[in-house]
Structure 1
Amino acid sequence: MPSPSRPLRKLGFLTIGLFDGADPRPGHESTLEIIELGERLGFDSAWVRHRHLQYGVSSPVALLAAASQRTSRIELGTAVIPLGWENPLRLAEDLATVDILSGGRLNPGISVGPPMHYDQVKDALYPDTGDMEDFSYERVRRLLDLVRGKPATDFSGLEGFEVFSDVVQPHSPGLGRRLWYGGGSARSASWAGEHGMNFLTSSVVKAEGEERPWDFAEIQRSHIRAFRAAHPDSAAARVSQGLVVIPTDSASPEQRAKYEAYAAKRLPRTASPQGPARLLFAPDIVATSTEIAERLHAHAGFREVDEVAFALPFTFEHEDYVQILTDLATRLGPALGWSPRAS
């Protein structure tokens, strides 16, 4: 078995937080309970996906505010907030507030681009400015500046009995170093590095160029290296990988069958780039922790990182997530050289 380039230092997980539209509270409670379980199991981080006009968490910042009061140690992240739906100044206020409430544990992951199905949603989202909105990296730069304490206005001081600040309040000084960019292209990797961000990779990359056959792991490795080459402090730059891995060590026969069927249904999309964006998906890995560790140690992208946020599948039950998280923390993590943190 190939040896990894470095032992796994941080183990995290990512959840979409599904719920029933007719009764949304139990699904949100389940997500909070999973985050609490993650802390008890020693995970370093818990991340929440972002879904608009779907039956998944639409406001991860609000949900993580609740999670911050039910946990004390685990890092809390978003993977990712699409900035096309956000006003950077207002988002900066929300992020800083949750970071203060969590004691400096927030790790906001963001991305850019037009909102999904923009033509159908723009009249509701931007009724007056829909055709003028800028969805480029400039939107990220605005958020970075505001979170990092650059002035938002030229006015500050006392007006009557009220005191005004020229920078976003509350200001959380460490938050600017914990901003992540979720990218799947060489350009996004380099941009994130140049602007001193951290870099989130996932199970999706862009198949750039005409190289055949496409090798997901090699493409991902090239993005990680491009990010580090562009970062002003590459030694301190953080990269997290987010593949879908499902350990089956303690799974029941019924669970194993469900997991294997889920992965098989998604496998065809990994054979070639998908859609106009030429997205290439990594296969889900369903196996024992020993077998998963062997595959990860041989994965060119994994060999470049020392922290991960493994993605939980979308459609499983709460009990399935408990089993998967328990095996991740007690079986797979140690097989990758990781040790759980004490709560």
Structure 2
Amino acid sequence: MPLPTRPLRKLGFLTIGLFEGDDPGPGHESTLQIIELGERLGFDSAWVRHRHLQYGISSPVAVLAAASQRTTRIALGTAVIPLGWENPLRLAEDLATVDVLSGGRLNPGVSVGPPAHFDQVKDALYPDTADREDFGHERVRRLLDLLRGEPASGFRGTEGIEVYSERVQPHSPGLAGRVWYGAGSLRSARWAGENAMNLLTSNVVKAEESTDFAEIQVSQVREFRAHHPDGERARVSQGLVVIPTDGATPEQRAKYKEYAGKRTPRTAEPQGPARMMFAPDLVGTSAEIAERLYAQAAFREIDEVAFALPFTFDHRDYVQILTDLATRLGPELGWRPAAH
């Protein structure tokens, strides 16, 4: 196995939090239990996806508020909140509230762009302003300014018995510095760097200068750091679908290989009009996965990861995968679990 350029410093995981439409409670409870398990295993962070009008977590901030009361140490992140669905001022209030409740552990990840299936949902989401909404980077700037404590109102003071603040309350110092941008293109990576954000890079990138996933991803990481005030010290977290099989049963191994096999064809060439490239899922023993990770140029340049759990597996599968990640793959990558 190639020697690591640096030991893995932070190990995290990402879950979509699926649930049944007719009985959503058990799915949400499973997600919270998985986050609790992650803390016990020493993971540094737990991240939840964001899905609107689907059977996955639609309100990650609310879910992480609950998780903040069932954990004490693990960082809690969103990967990612699509800001096209959000009012930045209201979101800033929610994020700051959860950050206070968690003791400063929230790591909000965001992205921009029009909401998915916008023509079908715009009348419900923006009935009067759909044609005037700006779904670009300005929405991120508004959120960051509000989290930093910039004025949200021209009024402050006392009116009767009510006391008003000109900035978002509660104010949580340091939260703005823990906001991550989910980038999939060189332009987005550059913008995140220029605006001193942290970078989330996942298993999906835009094929621009190449059709080789690893080449594209490392190019984006370098572009981000080249434009970030912190340069090489700027934080980047890589998120790939990683499925170790060390502690899996024969049935689980067969299931995992079938899952990855069905998804492999999409990794051969750019997909759709946006020319998105997908990384192959990594399935195998921890030693095998570590070798494949070290062979990736982007992985050799980062020291934080948030490995994605597959969408459709069972709770017991996630327990096995997380346990192997923390006890087998993490140590293979030079990582040490956080102290309890």
TM-score by length of 2: 0.99
Counterpart Cα distance in 2 of 1:277 and 1:90 = 31
Question: Is 1:10–1:307's contact at 8 Å kept on the other side of the alignment?
Answer: yes
State the distance in 2 between where 1:84 and 1:5 align.
38
- Larger mean Cα displacement after TM superposition, 127-136 or 308-317: 127-136
| Letter matched to residue 222 of structure 2 | R
What is the deviation of 1:293? 0.3
The C-alpha deviation readout for 1:168-221, integer Å capped at 9, x for no partner, is 000001101100000111111110111111000000000014x4xx21111101
Match of 1:239 in 2: 236
Deviations 1:213-264 (A, max 9, x none): x211111011111111111122542100000010000100000000000000
- Is structure 2 residue 20 aligned with structure 1 residue 20? yes
Match in the other structure for 2:268: 271
Structure 2 residue 183 is matched with structure 1 residue 186: no
- Which digits, 9 at most, give the CA deviation of each residue in 1:310-342, with x for residues without a partner? 000000000000000000000000000000012
User: CA offsets, 1:254-279, max 9 Å, x none?
Assistant: 00000000000000000000001100
Structure 2 counterpart of 1:201, which letter? Answer: T
In structure 2, what is the Cα distance between the partners aligned to 1:342 and 1:182? 29
TM superposition shift of 1:3: 2.1
1:283 maps onto 2:259 in alignment: no
Bigger mean CA deviation after superposition, 1-10 or 86-95: 1-10
What's 2:52 paired with? 52
1:254 has 2:251 as partner:
yes
Q: Unpaired runs of 5+ in structure 1?
A: none
What is the CA–CA distance in structure 1 between the aligned matches of 2:266 and 2:65, rounded to whole Å? Answer: 35
Does the aligned pair in 2 maintain the 1:4–1:298 contact within 8 Å? no
**AA partner of residue 52 (structure 2):** H
Q: Conserved in 2, the CA contact under 8 Å of 1:34 and 1:322?
A: yes
Extract structure 1 runs of 4+ deviating beyond 4 A: none
| 1:147 and 2:144 aligned | no
Partner of 2:83: 83
The 3-state SS of whatever aligns with 1:11 is strand
1:175 aligns with 2:198: no
AA matched with 2:219: S
Match of 2:94 in 1: 94
Contact 1:19 1:25 in 2 (8 A): yes
Q: Per the alignment, in what secondary structure is the counterpart of residue 325 of structure 2?
A: helix
Alignment of 1:1-343 (within 5 A): 1-209=1-209, 211=210, 214-343=211-340
Distance apart, 1:154 and its partner CA: 1.5
- For residue 2 of structure 1, report the CA deviation from its aligned partner: 2.2
The amino acid of 1:290's aligned partner reads A
* Secondary structure at the counterpart of residue 255 of structure 1: helix
The superposition leaves residues 6-25 of structure 1 with CA deviations (integer Å, 9 ceiling, x where unpaired) of: 11000000000000000000
Provide the secondary structure at the position in 2 that maps to 1:77. strand
Q: Distance in 2 between matches of 1:235 and 1:218?
A: 18
**What secondary structure, in the 3-state scheme, does the structure 1 residue paired with 2:76 have?**
strand
Q: 1-side partners of 2:321 and 2:77: how far apart?
A: 19
The secondary structure found in structure 2 opposite 1:200 is: strand
SS of aligned partner of 1:219: helix
* Residue correspondences, number: 340
Q: Are the equivalent residues in 2 in contact too, given 1:244–1:285 (CA < 8 A)? A: yes
Cα root mean square deviation, aligned: 0.7
CA distances 1:71-128 after superposition (whole Å, capped 9, x unpaired):
0000000000000000000000000000000000000000000000000000010011
Q: Describe the SS at the equivalent of 1:50.
A: coil
CA distance in structure 2 between the aligned counterparts of 1:97 and 1:6, rounded to whole angstroms? 36
- Stretches of structure 2 that go unaligned for 5 or more consecutive residues are none
